[in-house]
Structure 1
Amino acid sequence: MASLEEQLSALGVEGVQPVGGMLSGAKAEDFENNPVLEQMWAMQAFKYAETHFTLIQSRDAKEFQLTRVDDELYEAVRERFKELKVDVIDVESIKSPAGKEVWRQFCNDFREKVHDFNFATLLRIDSSKEYDEANTVIVPRAQFLAIEVVRNRQGLNSMHSKKTTS
């Protein structure tokens, strides 16, 4: 029988996307450190970020919804994180042990409402800038969506007017 690494390698990037969905609900300790699996997750996270950025460049982000529960995400963020600045994320506050615990509970509350709620997702730290190594942090999908919904509603994701031509 082929190892997990061999199976993932055989699938390639496109083939592993469904695998990401299957793994999203799994516990991390159920899997050994596997560089191929980590690479596949990173590639899927990058592809998601690329799609997100293309979307916010295409039109005013105030005009669209990211999920069917955008209103609920928005209200929950505003209620639980009254002091949260979403224009430029304070990475230390969301990555500190206390911050992680509060956000973990928030994400778990959306477990049944947000598809792949805990899947690793790339978040831009500064909403006025593009995705790049210095402006990116990895967060759970529910946290990403919550922050991006607030950014959309506050007009902070209006990248369509800043779109650059390559």
Structure 2
Amino acid sequence: MLSTKIDAENAENAAEIEMQFAVKAVEQAQIYWSLLEMRKGSELKLTKYDDEIFEDLINTFPEFKDPKTASFVNEDEMKSAKGKAAWRPFLMRYEKKVDDYNFGTLLRIKNTDEYEQETTIFVPRMQFLAYEIARNRYGLNDWIKKD
């Protein structure tokens, strides 16, 4: 029996676990991209809570009223201590609503980029949903749809 608690925030993951998460994140990105190729983002609904998530995003982060904010992710700002503190309450509001709300997911840094190693960052699923719902609402992903 272990006598010390494990700090999940600072624990090092086994390579196999990290690989499983990475594979799952890549699969999710491929599925999402395929959806965007088949249908305009502005016509997609990612969850049954899209309206609520978008409204909450704008109320929590008023800068998202400007589509430019959704078009680009400032990773340094988002992952700073201040950024994490700002995003945490938003994420936690969906803990019991959105499955895998905190599961690692790939997010494109710019809405004008495709999914590639240099153009994506790893974020909790709720941050992915917040950005992509906003991008879709503003029509920023409509360019991806194939004719």
Name segments (4+ residues, structure 1) moved above 6 Å.
none
CA distance in 2, matches of 1:97, 1:31: 18
1:158 CA drift (Å): 1.0
1:81 CA drift (Å): 0.9
Residue 121 (str. 1) matches residue 101 (str. 2) = no
Residues matched between the structures, number: 137
1:57 CA drift (Å): 1.3
The runs of 5 or more residues in structure 1 that have no matched partner are 1-26
Residue 35 (str. 1) matches residue 15 (str. 2) = yes
User: 3-state SS of the aligned residue for 1:122?
Assistant: strand
Q: TM-score, normalised by structure 1?
A: 0.77
CA distance in 1, matches of 2:9, 2:72: 32
Identity %: 39
Alpha-carbon RMSD across the aligned residues, in angstroms, is 1.9
Q: Deviations over 1:40-88 (max 9, x none)?
A: 0100001001111111111111112100100000001111111240111
What does residue 92 of structure 1 align with?
A: 76
1:159 CA drift (Å): 3.4
1:144 corresponds, among 104, 120, 128, to 128
CA distance in 1, matches of 2:19, 2:137: 33
Shift of the 80–30 alpha-carbon distance from structure 1 to 2, 3 Å rule, reads closer
User: 3-state SS of the aligned residue for 2:123?
Assistant: strand
1:93 CA drift (Å): 1.5
User: 3-state SS of the aligned residue for 1:51?
Assistant: helix
The runs of 5 or more residues in structure 2 that have no matched partner are 1-6
Higher relative contact order (CA 8 A, sep 6+): 2
User: 3-state SS of the aligned residue for 1:83?
Assistant: helix
